[in-house]
Structure 1
Amino acid sequence: MVVYQKHLLKLAKEMETETKHFESLKLEDEFNQLKQIGLIGDSLDKINAAETKFNKIIKEELPQLNSILMSVENSSNSFNILKTRDSSDEAQNLLEKIATELDDVEETLNKTFKLAREHRTAVSDLENRYKSLRKLLLTKNGDFGPALDALEERLSSIEETFDDFSNLTKQGDHANAEKILVDLNHATVNLEDMVKAIPALYQENHVKFDNQLNEITEAYQKMRSEGFAFEDDDFEISLKELRQSVNDNIINIEHLDIEFVKDQDSQINKRINDLYEKMEVQINARKKVDKSIKQIGKFIEHAYYQNKALSDELEQLSHNYSLEHGEIQITQQLGNKINSIGKQHETDLNSINDGNAIYTRIAKNLETFKTELTTIEKKQMALNDSISEFSAEEKKAHQILNDLNAELHAIQRKIENLNLPGISDDYVDYFGVVADEINHLSSTMNKVKISMDAVQKQLEQIKSDRDTLQEKTDDLIDQSILAEQVMQYANRYVGNALEIDVALAKAKDFFDHKFRYADSLATIANAVDKVEPGAYQKIEDRYYDNKAKSTKK
């Protein structure tokens, strides 16, 4: 109980200190200052209400609070804790109420003082701004064009509102003045923005666009007189529409419809730039045309005569050679393409001479012609190269044919020089095949009209078969000579080795009667190696060494 009593007494002392702080507030001077300003209307009502509340706090509520706190201090010395606690709670509630009310009073005072200062500043600031606007409209009236009257009317309207605001401020009715100030500031800023924007917008429509449209009209007429034409030519319609749009925009400026004017200006500017670009594109295209049109003409003429010469050459060659790769058809196709290019080029030249040339289209055609003629020229060169080789190929083929005949005779002489008892049917047949192929090639090349493809194909086959025949001939020579040498070597063992006697008889039968020289060699070589291991290898090595030396000589 003692501890709780001390706690309640401590709270009472703290509240007493805060109460003395409230009593020390000297707000009467501030109320008097505001009264001297001369408030009226809502501002005066709010200040009067705040002063009434403040007086009630000072004269009634604070004395009441002090009385309760005294009761708390007195009852804290007794044992009536419940009464002390209730009195302390009552004092606490009253203290909080007084604090809240005083905050409201001070806020009302501060806000009123602030509004008074701001409104006095606003009056001076707005007055200066209106003077500047009025002076600007007066001295620069030509910059605003048809918008001048509307701007002056708008300024006069704002100034009337400003007079109302100024009067309320002077009278001290700051609450109602504040309501007007928000709209007044907005209207003033809006007017200032218009005054800043309109001269440039009027200049753009009245001067810039007008000059550009006149310039485009003059340039268009000059270009048409100089032979220019345009695809989907809408210049006259576009110029008429743009002039109407500019006139409409002048009216929009007069009505101060600034955002719409800006939007329209953007569209007008884009359409004007499009017209400039259309003319510039044609002018640049004409420069390209003037620079390359003669060259393309010469290129077409060159391609035409080149194709005619190629066609004549093919006609002559067709009497002696079979043209099997569509050379004549390709040349005709190239000629048709050249004629088509020439006709289009002539049409373009006529449009220039008639003064009705769309130079962008002609320039594009020239680029296409150049690419196509370059491709044609490459094909003509490839054709010319291919047919120019016919005579050389024929001559070369004759030389190869002569060489093949000579090689075949040389092979025949080699075989004859061996003085063999006979030649196998397989070898004779293969020799005959190669001989027949050479004869067939000779017949092909002796025809009135030669097929060089057939000649080349037969040559490749003959060369392959010739190589195989040469291998068969080498094998025949090597096997027959080695068989004779090994049989001669085996004679030293005749009568002494039964195996040699049997093998020798069999080998001679293969050699003399059946002409199977490889079998003859294998039979006697195996027998000799059984009697004298390694003997055949020595005979074979000596034979090939001698053969290599003979070949070098």
Structure 2
Amino acid sequence: MEYIIGSVLFALILIGTAFFWRKKQYKEVDVLEEQKLDIQHRPVLEEMTKVKQLNMNGQTEELFEKWRDSWTYIVDEKLAEVDSLLFDAEEHIDKFRFNKSKKVREAIEEELKIAEEQMNVILQELEDLMGSDEKNREEMEYIQQVFKESRSRLMAERHSFGKSAEALERKIYAVEPKLDEYQSLTGEGNYLQARELVLALVQEINDIQSIIERLPSLNDEVQYSLPSQRSELKDGFNEMSDKGFPLSHLGFEKADPELESQIGLAQKHLLRLELDEADDIRQSVQDTLDQFYDQLEDELEARSKLNEKLAPLSEKLKETVKRNEELTREVDYVRQGYQLDQTNLDLPKDHEKQLERITREFHLMTDRRKEGETAFTILAVEAEKLETELAEIEEQQKNSSSQLQKLRSDEITVRELQDKCFKKLKELVKLVSQKNLPKIPDYWHMELKEVNNQLEQIDRLLTERPMNMKLISQHSSSAERMTEAFEENTSDMMNAAESAERVIQYGNRYRSKNEVVFIGLNEAEMLFRRGQYQEALEQAAETIEKVEPGVLKKIDDLKEQHV
């Protein structure tokens, strides 16, 4: 029983699945049917009837017949075949022959694809034909307008085109037959051929327009300006050569025939209306001419500068040689009294050799100037080089002379500083003696002795010959610093002695009343008598601070009131 029920259920499932797939495949057939109807109902015939607006002759008539035959074939043959295949596909589905139905549907899809591609070709060619006529009419208006303008301008401005006017005239009038050809092609219905002709005419008329715009100025340059510049340049070279300018190094004589040949070649290009080639040559020739003009100007300027420099340079050379001789004598004299570094000793000799070389080069340059075979630009550069070298030597001479003079100045400064230090020491010794101090500290005597020794060392160095001013200056700076330090230490010592004495005197009022004060002040007095004034001040102040805080400030205030 269960086996029977299971079999029935399985059969029902199979049947349900089969009906499901059949329904699905019916839908796919319906889709193909819609695609066929879409192609069949496209307004291809309506589009083809628009062609009748054109001249139905020649190429247009041939295309129309081809498109009509193609469309008839698509509708009567291809789509009819599709109808038959659609019927077969439905029949296979009815009988649940799904695989056969699938193969038929694939064949239908291929047929529809081919039919649609053929239909699209027809529509595209229709669009091209109709569009070509519209574009042709628009562009022909432009072509005819430029043609008339070009012809009128040639007649009105023929002189500005020079010898190229005939070639330009031929090129312009060569367009006219093609305009008539366009009318013939259009009248015969050959619109696509007419399109190719129009495209060629647009390029041709644009070339003519460009030539008309560029030719006048280019013709003026090539026919008149360049030959004139070349002739003027040649005259300029000859004139300057007659005036003694050495110009052979510029190479104009070799370049001139090539320039003439290039100008002639450019003129031939113009006659053939080859403007780009002519313009390239024009630019090259113009650059060469400009270069030669610049070189001539450089030679003129160089001769002017050279003439201006020669006399002052000769005078400067003599002055520098004379100054070097004076510097040599000055070095010989100064070295007897002062030690000189090797640079100052060797400088006059080095300059002497350098000046001998410069003198030789200067005379050689003036000789070449007289011979007239060396370019002025070369001689001017050489003169400028010599001028620079002399300026450098002059600067070094001034620096060396200044250093020599500074040695004497430094000696005077050292002697003045030495006298000043000696006077300061005497003043300080006198000032200390006037203070009647119980004892002068040993460190003060030692410091005084050190300063005196330093000053005596300077005195000995100043008596040596030759003097080492560098060493003397170092000792002099040390003596100055030592004197200043000694003056400061002397002042501190006297101030400490005065303050200690004043504090002890102030504290005597507590001596008999306070044993601590008594002992502390006795120790301070003992330090004072030994010459230890700073220690005495600190001891006395510390002792009195114990009984009267702030006593030091009070003593200072009393001192200021007394003053």
**In the alignment, is the contact (CA less than 8 A) between 2:266 and 2:279 conserved in 1?**
no
Q: Which moved more, 1:412-421 or 1:266-275?
A: 412-421
Would you say 1:467 and 2:468 are equivalent positions?
no
User: 1:517 — aligned with what?
Assistant: 533
User: 1:280 — aligned with what?
Assistant: 297
SS for the counterpart of 1:319 is helix
SS for the counterpart of 2:464 is coil
Give 2:163's match in structure 1, choosing from 127, 144, 147. 144
Cα distance in 1 between the residues matched to 2:209 and 2:400: 81
Q: Which moved more, 1:386-395 or 1:329-338?
A: 329-338
Count of residue correspondences: 457
Would you say 1:319 and 2:336 are equivalent positions?
yes
User: 1:359 — aligned with what?
Assistant: 376
SS for the counterpart of 2:336 is coil
* Letter matched to residue 262 of structure 1: D
SS for the counterpart of 1:318 is helix
Compute the displacement of 1:444 (Å).
1.3
Give 2:243's match in structure 1, choosing from 226, 246, 253. 226
Would you say 1:395 and 2:415 are equivalent positions?
no
Alignment of 1:105-124 (within 5 A): none
Give 1:448's match in structure 2, choosing from 465, 471, 474. 465
TM-score by length of 1: 0.62
Cα distance in 1 between the residues matched to 2:175 and 2:366: 69
Compute the displacement of 1:258 (Å).
4.1
Alignment of 1:427-442 (within 5 A): 427-442=444-459
Compute the displacement of 1:438 (Å).
1.1
Alignment of 1:173-252 (within 5 A): 204-229=221-246, 233-252=250-269
Compute the displacement of 1:448 (Å).
1.9
**In the alignment, is the contact (CA less than 8 A) between 1:253 and 1:261 conserved in 2?**
yes
- Residues 530, 237 of structure 1: CA spacing in aligned structure 2 closer, same or farther, 3 A cutoff? same
Would you say 1:479 and 2:492 are equivalent positions?
no
**In the alignment, is the contact (CA less than 8 A) between 1:444 and 1:455 conserved in 2?**
yes
- Residues 500, 241 of structure 1: CA spacing in aligned structure 2 closer, same or farther, 3 A cutoff? same
Compute the displacement of 1:443 (Å).
0.9
User: 1:527 — aligned with what?
Assistant: 543
- Residues 493, 165 of structure 1: CA spacing in aligned structure 2 closer, same or farther, 3 A cutoff? closer
Give 2:425's match in structure 1, choosing from 408, 422, 438. 408
Cα distance in 1 between the residues matched to 2:195 and 2:548: 139
- Residues 162, 422 of structure 1: CA spacing in aligned structure 2 closer, same or farther, 3 A cutoff? closer
Give 2:287's match in structure 1, choosing from 263, 270, 273. 270
Cα distance in 2 between the residues matched to 1:229 and 1:333: 36
Compute the displacement of 1:398 (Å).
1.7
- Residues 311, 543 of structure 1: CA spacing in aligned structure 2 closer, same or farther, 3 A cutoff? farther
Cα distance in 2 between the residues matched to 1:526 and 1:189: 116
Note the residue ranges of structure 2 that are not aligned, 5 or more in a row.
1-52, 66-128
Cα distance in 2 between the residues matched to 1:221 and 1:428: 95
User: 1:74 — aligned with what?
Assistant: none
**In the alignment, is the contact (CA less than 8 A) between 1:165 and 1:180 conserved in 2?**
no
Q: Deviations over 1:441-498 (max 9, x none)?
A: 1111122222332232222211221122122222333333444555556566665543
Cα distance in 2 between the residues matched to 1:167 and 1:521: 133
**In the alignment, is the contact (CA less than 8 A) between 1:227 and 1:352 conserved in 2?**
no
User: 2:307 — aligned with what?
Assistant: 290
**In the alignment, is the contact (CA less than 8 A) between 1:130 and 1:155 conserved in 2?**
yes
Compute the displacement of 1:282 (Å).
2.5
- Residues 420, 186 of structure 1: CA spacing in aligned structure 2 closer, same or farther, 3 A cutoff? closer
**In the alignment, is the contact (CA less than 8 A) between 2:246 and 2:375 conserved in 1?**
yes
Cα distance in 2 between the residues matched to 1:389 and 1:207: 72
Compute the displacement of 1:440 (Å).
0.7
Supply the RMSD in Å over aligned alpha carbons: 5.6
- Residues 250, 409 of structure 1: CA spacing in aligned structure 2 closer, same or farther, 3 A cutoff? closer
Cα distance in 2 between the residues matched to 1:464 and 1:499: 44
Compute the displacement of 1:337 (Å).
5.9
User: 2:31 — aligned with what?
Assistant: none
- Residues 329, 181 of structure 1: CA spacing in aligned structure 2 closer, same or farther, 3 A cutoff? same
- Residues 400, 152 of structure 1: CA spacing in aligned structure 2 closer, same or farther, 3 A cutoff? closer
Would you say 1:503 and 2:504 are equivalent positions?
no
- Residues 186, 432 of structure 1: CA spacing in aligned structure 2 closer, same or farther, 3 A cutoff? closer
* Letter matched to residue 538 of structure 2: A
Q: Which moved more, 1:360-369 or 1:261-270?
A: 360-369
* Letter matched to residue 144 of structure 1: K
Compute the displacement of 1:358 (Å).
3.2
- Residues 198, 142 of structure 1: CA spacing in aligned structure 2 closer, same or farther, 3 A cutoff? closer
* Letter matched to residue 247 of structure 1: G
Compute the displacement of 1:503 (Å).
3.1
* Letter matched to residue 533 of structure 2: Y
Cα distance in 1 between the residues matched to 2:483 and 2:146: 117
**In the alignment, is the contact (CA less than 8 A) between 2:150 and 2:209 conserved in 1?**
no
Q: Deviations over 1:394-417 (max 9, x none)?
A: 223223212222222333333344
Compute the displacement of 1:439 (Å).
0.9
**In the alignment, is the contact (CA less than 8 A) between 2:237 and 2:247 conserved in 1?**
no
User: 1:84 — aligned with what?
Assistant: none
- Residues 475, 545 of structure 1: CA spacing in aligned structure 2 closer, same or farther, 3 A cutoff? farther
**In the alignment, is the contact (CA less than 8 A) between 2:146 and 2:209 conserved in 1?**
no
Cα distance in 1 between the residues matched to 2:542 and 2:548: 10
* Letter matched to residue 543 of structure 2: A
Compute the displacement of 1:320 (Å).
1.1
* Letter matched to residue 318 of structure 1: R
User: 1:457 — aligned with what?
Assistant: 474
Cα distance in 2 between the residues matched to 1:153 and 1:348: 64
Q: Which moved more, 1:458-467 or 1:418-427?
A: 418-427
Cα distance in 2 between the residues matched to 1:217 and 1:271: 13
Compute the displacement of 1:381 (Å).
3.8
**In the alignment, is the contact (CA less than 8 A) between 2:249 and 2:375 conserved in 1?**
no
Note the residue ranges of structure 1 that are not aligned, 5 or more in a row.
1-29, 50-107
- Residues 131, 228 of structure 1: CA spacing in aligned structure 2 closer, same or farther, 3 A cutoff? closer
**In the alignment, is the contact (CA less than 8 A) between 1:348 and 1:357 conserved in 2?**
no
Compute the displacement of 1:535 (Å).
6.0
Compute the displacement of 1:219 (Å).
1.9
